[in-house]
Amino acid sequence: LALESALAQALERNEYSLHYQPICQLVDGKPYLAGVEALLRWSDQGRLVPPQEFIPVLEASSGIVRVGEWVLQEACRQVRDWQLAGQAQMHCAVNLSIRQLQEHDFADRLMLILDETGLAPGSLVLEITETLLMQDSMLVRNNLQRIAGLGVRLALDDFGTGYCSLGYLKRFPLHILKVDRSFISGTPENAESLVISRAIIGLGQSLGLSVVAEGVEEQAQLDFLTAEHCPFVQGYWFSRPIPAAQLQEMFSESG
Applying CB under 5 A, which part among 9-17, 21-29, 65-73, 126-134 lies near Mn ion?
Answer: 126-134
Residue from 15, 81, 158, 218 in contact with Na ion (CB under 5 A)? 158
Residue from 236, 243, 246, 250 in contact with ligand G (CB under 6 A)? 236
Provide the strand spans (E) within 81-239: 91-95, 124-129, 153-159, 176-179, 210-213, 232-233
CB of 56 to Na ion, least distance (A): 15
Rounded Cα gap, residues 6 and 240, in angstroms: 27
Let me know: does 122 contact 151? Beta carbons within 8 Å: yes
Any contact of residue 156 with ligand G (CB under 6 A)?
no
Any contact of residue 68 with ligand G (CB under 6 A)?
yes
Q: Of residues 16-45, which lie at the interface with ligand G (CB under 6 A)? A: 21, 39-40
Q: What are the CA-CA distances from residue 251 to residues 22, 30, 35, 142 (Å)?
A: 11, 16, 12, 38
Any contact of residue 157 with Na ion (CB under 5 A)?
yes
Residue from 36, 55, 107, 164 in contact with ligand G (CB under 6 A)? 55
Closer to Mn ion by Cβ: residue 6 or 161 = 161
Of the candidates 104, 89, 2, the residue with the CA atom closest to the CA atom of residue 49: 2
CA 237 to centroid of chain Cα atoms: 17
CB of 217 to ligand G, least distance (A): 5
Rounded Cα gap, residues 19 and 153, in angstroms: 21
Residue from 15, 44, 81, 158 in contact with ligand G (CB under 6 A)? 158
Q: What are the CA-CA distances from residue 248 to residues 93, 144, 175, 244 (Å)?
A: 17, 32, 28, 6
Residue from 95, 117, 123, 221 in contact with ligand G (CB under 6 A)? 95
For strand 176-179 and strand 242-243, is the pairing parallel, antiparallel, or unpaired? unpaired
**What single-letter amino acid sits at 178?**
K
CB of 234 to ligand G, least distance (A): 6
The residues that touch ligand G, with contacts defined as CB under 6 A, are 21, 39-40, 51-52, 55, 64, 68, 71, 95-97, 157-158, 181, 214-217, 235-236, 241
The residues that touch Mn ion, with contacts defined as CB under 5 A, are 95, 127, 157
